Chains A and B, each alone.
Chain A
Amino acid sequence: MLLYQVVIRSCPEYFLPEQRDAMLSVLFHENTIKSGAISKFAPAFLLVLLFSSGMVHADIKISPEKVLLDGPESTQQILISRIDKKTGNQTDISNLAKYAITDPKIIRIDSFGLIEPLSEGETLITVSHEGEQSRINVKVVGLKNPKPVSFEQQIIPLLTKASCNSGGCHGKNEGQNGFKLSVFGFDPFADYQSLVMEGRGRRVFAASPENSLLVAKASARIPHGGGRKITEGSLPYKRLLRWITEGMNYKSENTSTVVALEVQPSQFILEPNGSQQLRVTAINSEGTRFCVTAEAEFESNAPNIAGVDRRGGIQAGDNPGEAAILVRYMGEVNVCRITIPRKGAPFTRPNENNFIDTHVWNKLSMLGIPPSDLSNDSTFMRRVYLDTIGTLPTAAEARKFLENTATDKRTKLIDQLLERPEYADFWAMQWSDLLRVDRDAITAQGAIGMTRWLRRQFAENRPYDEMVKDIILAQGSTAAESPAAFYKALGTPEIISRSVSQLFLGVRIECAQCHHHPSEKWGQDDYFALAGFFTGVAKKSLPTGSESIVGKVGNDLKNPRTNTLVPTKALGEKEVSSLVVTDRRELLAKWMMNESNPFFAKSITNRIWSHYFGKGLVEPIDDFRTTNPASNEPLLEELALHLRKNKYNLKALTKTILNSRTYQLGIGTPLNINDEQNFSHSINRAMPAEVLLDAITQVTGIPEKFNGWPEGVRAIQVWDNRMPSYFLKLFGRPVRASVCECERSNEPSIAQALHLMNAPEIVAKIHARKGTARQLAESKLTAPEIIAELYLAVLCRFPTDKETEVLQELFKEAGADRRTAVEDALWALLNTKEFVYIH
């Protein structure tokens, strides 16, 4: 636009007067003119004059097509994209385009495309970029007689955006310096009271709004511990003043609430280091739409891939990958997904073993990340043993597998492992962690009962839905072989429901006990509505001294904040119409197992996936949210469908996963090592404490002695989580205090290293009279043969020539004392990082 004006005005001699007038009238036409409109109107020769050849290769698109601003603090974000005429590619230029306003008294616009009203009327904005331009009509109303500000609807989001009510500031439980707000503004009435009524009313001063403590503090005109949160003269500042001036209304006559958020664009591809402006539109219960870009909050789930600023401007980094931007406004959330492909990376699609590979390759090829090669047999074997049955292969097993030349030996091995008794031991142990089988909480009998029950489920490969149904509907003695003790460990309906939700649905609703979930739609009512299903669960003392779980009728719960009854209902569902059942839990179980349940199948699929890959498709694995999408949504969908089709057969799902090429990939390459989301390579994972102890036991040939347990029992079989064991404690055995898988710590520590290296217990095992080292030393095997045997037992592979050479030195040095040499070699292998991790 400006360019037109400049050219036309500065070079009048090139134009006939009538041509010039015609052109200016086109330029200043008061109606909305879409992109390309000018070129239609303007004479062709002008274009040739104005734009040197080759410049006209892109269109500018403005969204929306026209703008209506209603109210003094309303704003509108416009999005400007450049459309390449040749390729059709769209690029966001909202922060690059030049903006010119025909009547600058009406509105103003910042360099990122955010429009603010100044006075009522109508005007045009001309957007220009690299010689192309386009225009948009803007109308401003509602400034002379604005609608009164509503605290509930307009001040709360303002306080939230300024982070006044965040958990680190006035939103924390005890408030900050005497001024307390509800965190994220979930309790507007309490906030209204604390602003308007508390502190002897000193926080707002209607007679002189700008001298209100609230305004003076927020703008840091007087010292404020949190610094300046709202700039003087800004729109939020003006709205605060207007609210106080108008007498601090709690509600306006317009009582419609925000029911949905729309974010534009909601999904797009960005180049490395590219940028994109977002627009957020709120939709209220009457269907009115209004722009809240300036008022919404933004948060990136992967700031190293793409960060987002307070204005909703996204900036991509150097790394290819994906990010999800969480957008939050008035308790509603939405998400925008970004893909940043690697530029110009060659991608050759490897073979596909099954649909898992199809989806993973799809994703990787889109991102331009090449997957690693297939892992070698020994890496695969060690990995699949430890992952599936928590047990290291023996030297003999390793040798047999490595020397086997059959092409289907991996598939065969997977089938064999899933039938081994250790499978049930290992999975029962992991589920004991999740179901809180804590001896001190549910008694020894309870812990044994539950462990046995779990072992049976996995040994018989019970369909997962049936197993969970048994847990949800558990009744009877807490000391029997049943899951009833789960309820004994949990206690109140609230704790039960949030544990069940996290464990079986992957929904962490815990936050909503005290406040609205910060990144989901769940509020306090949803929390207490779900807990209502468990109000009938009661404990009854039995004459034997043990307890029994009984399912009674139950009742609805009250929301303690509003003190009103909340009708029992499942997450995101309507109220349960009829609660006339003997046990409400049946209704919940029915809803969970229903085919259309959005959480149940996906949650367990993701849990299993995460076990085998060290990372969930959704991460954290029990935190499913719109705002926390799966890294590969189609893959999760199809896996969950696969599980449902197979009637929740967990072994079948496991087989599919283990047979995929994706599971069998090798370690990262320079081209994919930075990929942490898309399973392009295998990652090192720590062995669980029990598995590591069993592995050391097996390799050294000396069983661990557990106090009170028969000799030879393995750590993964021990049901007693309180059994004293320095080793297990040190390597992160969970205390079973929560249903979160995150409780099992797999972080390394100095004490761990010290223990593996120097613990007398481990040294004793290595040196034991009946141990592996002594046996090998006394055998007829040659030094290289012994070394090979040790490598097979510890690392499940043959040594390289160089490794043999290094270890053979021990034999030479030790001279006739082979025993010393073998012991030292075994010690060294047990202390390689290769041993401690699953690769």
Chain B
Amino acid sequence: MMNELMKRSNQFCDGVSRRQALRIGASGFLAGLTLPKLFQMEATASTGQAPKAKSCIFLYLQGGPSTIDMWDMKPDAPAEIRGPYKPIRTNVVGTMVGEHCHRSAKIADKYTILRSHSHNDNGHTTGSHYVLTGNRPNFADGANSRIPVNELYPSLGSIVSRELGTRGSVPPYINMPHPLTAGGPGFYGAEHAPFVIESDPVQPDFEVKDLQTDERLSELRFKRRQRVLKGLEKDSVQSGRANTMATYYDKARDLITSPEARKAFDLKSEPEKLRTAYGHTSLGQCSLLSRRLVEAGCRFVGVDHGSWDTHFSCFPSLEKDLIPHADMAFSTLVSDLQDRGLLESTLVVMMGEMGRTPRINDKAGRDHWSQAQSVLLAGGGIKPGIVVGATDKTASFPTTEPFGVADVLRTIFHLMGIDSDKVYRTPLGRPVPIVSGGKVIKELLV
């Protein structure tokens, strides 16, 4: 056994696998391997127990949500900080949220507010890069106009796609209604790029690109084509990439033809009442579609919801549009998932790349503030109905242990059963772990 350990020429930090660790522990061969150490390995091992979250819906409030007006109210702060909104009670005693989050207030026992999320990248593209990949970008904010901006490092959705693959007829990683700013596959390559539904489900003419069979084609004709194609390729043997492509063809055909997949995208089949509850908004209908995609087996849905960059006269748009839209979408999504028995296996995360400045500026807006942002998490093994962490009296900095980007990513991956210490090599040969540093936020776990 000793040999088995020493034989590995490349040892990473997590060089001892859990299985090895257990065998070592059982035989007591390595005296230095103490019990706490073994427990630590247990805790970090990815294969330890069946992961709770099979899928993740990631509502990305791009631009930076004003969480001081939503989830982390400071009623005792001066007016230029606390803003015009009043805190209201939730159904969890002691937890207060902003008055425009009254729908979420009624189900506060179903999700958790992480108030001490904090990092120090105050830019949009750079912050998005950091939050979604866990790595700092090598460009200045605004200096990269590509979407996605992450050229090297994979986004969390691509990581989930690579590690878990699909479990149904829809692609494992989907973005809507636009690609996430930093949602690209980085060096993982196109295979793990998001399947982007570049069409907004709130629009009446919503359709998924390339999914609808052309109206010029009858169903009969479509089937005939498929049959002929099959007949032509029956005897040909594919190798390498062509073989992978052949597999993707099958999946693509499933997407087009399988009733499940078609159904997944068919929002119109949802009862009008539920659609209204989600809100006839981009975020609302995207959230609803996300639920349907998760039901069809999607692993990671990234919903890109913009316009949160409220530098000027922020309160009218916050109270009329942004907060109610987010409040409706999030609260309905969580309740809906629970009603269908899916909340246990679906992790919902709602956050942006940063929060906003506590002090209202002279243009009646709030500016970028990455030092403190409240993140909402629900389902998939998240302990519900609590508040984790706190910020100071102006919501400027966490007063409890700050949890950074790596901690949040590690927690998401942990819940999904992904080993954050797994290492892949970039084309230049540099080993890159799935997450560098950080630790699982234990307080959030059931």
Which residues from chain A sit less than 8 Å from chain B, CB to CB? 163, 166-169, 172-174, 176, 219-229, 232, 297-300, 307-311, 440, 508, 510-511, 518-519, 620, 623, 667-668, 673, 683-686, 726, 732, 735, 737-738, 740, 742, 745-755, 757-760, 763-764, 767, 802-803, 806-807, 809-810, 813, 820, 824-825, 827-829, 831-834, 836-837
Contacts and interface: CB of A to CB of B under 8 A. Distances in A.
Contacts of B244: 747-748
B236 A833 contact: yes
Given A228-B30, A511-B428, A820-B221, A310 B9 contact: yes
B445 interface: no
Given A220-B33, A519-B429, A750 B151 contact: no
Nearest to A167: B431
Interface in B123-177: 145-146, 151, 171
B427 A742 contact: yes
Contacts of A834: 236
A308 B251 CA distance: 39
Interface string B222-256: 00110011011101101111101110110111011
A111 to B, nearest CB: 10
A758 B245 contact: no
B197 to A, nearest CB: 10
A434 B446 CA distance: 51
B437 interface: yes
A833 B246 contact: yes
Interface stretch (B208-216, B364-372, B382-390): B208-216
Given A309-B7, A763-B214, A833 B225 contact: no
B433 A168 contact: yes
Closest 4 CB pairs of A and B: A220-B32, A753-B252, A748-B245, A754-B252
B15 interface: yes
Interface in B186-226: 189-191, 193, 195-196, 209-214, 216-217, 221, 224-225
B211 A806 contact: no
Contacts of A763: 214, 216-217
Given A754-B255, A758-B213, A834-B236, A227 B191 contact: no
Interface in B18-71: 30, 32-34, 36-37, 40
B13 to A, nearest CB: 5
B376 interface: no
Contact of B248 (A172, A224, A753): A753
A754 to B, nearest CB: 4
A472 to B, nearest CB: 23
Contact of A836 (B32, B33, B231, B245): B245
A831 B256 contact: no
14 contacts: A163-B15, A172-B436, A220-B30, A220-B37, A309-B8, A508-B428, A620-B427, A749-B190, A753-B245, A754-B210, A759-B209, A764-B214, A824-B224, A833-B233
Contacts of B11: 163, 166, 229
Contacts of B36: 223
B146 A735 contact: yes
Contacts of A510: 428
Contacts of B427: 620, 740, 742
B16 interface: yes
Contacts of A310: 6-9
Contacts of B190: 732, 745, 747-749, 752
B249 to A, nearest CB: 5
Contacts of B189: 745, 747
A758 B214 contact: yes
A688 B244 CA distance: 17
A813 B210 CA distance: 27
Contact of B13 (A169, A620, A685, A748): A169
Given A220-B32, A749-B195, A802-B235, 17 more contacts: A163-B12, A228-B32, A232-B32, A297-B9, A299-B10, A307-B9, A310-B6, A748-B244, A749-B193, A750-B251, A750-B255, A751-B195, A752-B190, A758-B211, A764-B214, A803-B232, A837-B241
B430 interface: yes
Given A748-B190, A825-B228, A829-B232, A837 B428 contact: no
B224 A684 contact: no
Contacts, number: 211
Given A747-B191, A748-B190, A803-B232, A827 B225 contact: yes
Contact of A221 (B32, B196, B240): B32
B245 A225 contact: no
Given A757-B253, A832-B232, A168 B431 contact: yes
A767 B216 CA distance: 9
A227 B221 contact: no
Nearest to B437: A174
Contacts of B33: 220, 227-228
A767 B436 CA distance: 52
Contacts of A753: 245, 248-249, 251-252
B9 A837 contact: no
Q: Chain B contact residues: over half helix, strand or loop, or mixed?
A: loop
A243 to B, nearest CB: 20
A810 B224 contact: yes
Contacts of A735: 146, 151
Contacts of A623: 429
A227 B44 CA distance: 13
Given A519-B429, A759-B210, A299 B9 contact: yes
A758 B249 CA distance: 11
Contact of B241 (A738, A748, A760): A748
A747 B216 CA distance: 31
B423 interface: yes
B15 A227 contact: yes
B121 interface: no
A327 B237 CA distance: 40
B13 A168 contact: yes
B304 interface: no
Contacts of A229: 11
Contact of A168 (B6, B252, B255, B421): B421
Nearest to B216: A767
Contacts of A173: 436
A166 B236 CA distance: 46
Contacts of B151: 735, 737-738
Contact of B232 (A172, A298, A757, A806): A806
B252 A757 contact: yes
- Best-surrounded residue of B189, B193, B232, B255 (most CB of chain A within 10 A): B232
Contact of B12 (A168, A300, A620, A745): A168
Interface string B425-444: 00111110100110000000
Contacts of A837: 241-242, 245
B294 to A, nearest CB: 17
A684 B32 contact: no
A810 B228 contact: yes
A623 B15 CA distance: 28
Contacts of A825: 228
A730 to B, nearest CB: 8
Contacts of A667: 239
B191 A748 contact: yes
A757 B310 CA distance: 42
Contact of A686 (B8, B193, B212, B241): B241
A806 B228 contact: yes
B429 A176 contact: no
Given A227-B33, A228-B32, A747-B189, A758 B40 contact: no
Interface in B386-437: 421, 423, 427-431, 433, 436-437
Nearest to B30: A228
B210 A755 contact: yes
A820 B225 CA distance: 11
Contacts of A752: 190, 245, 248
Contacts of A827: 225, 229
B249 A757 contact: yes
B40 A223 contact: yes
A219 to B, nearest CB: 6
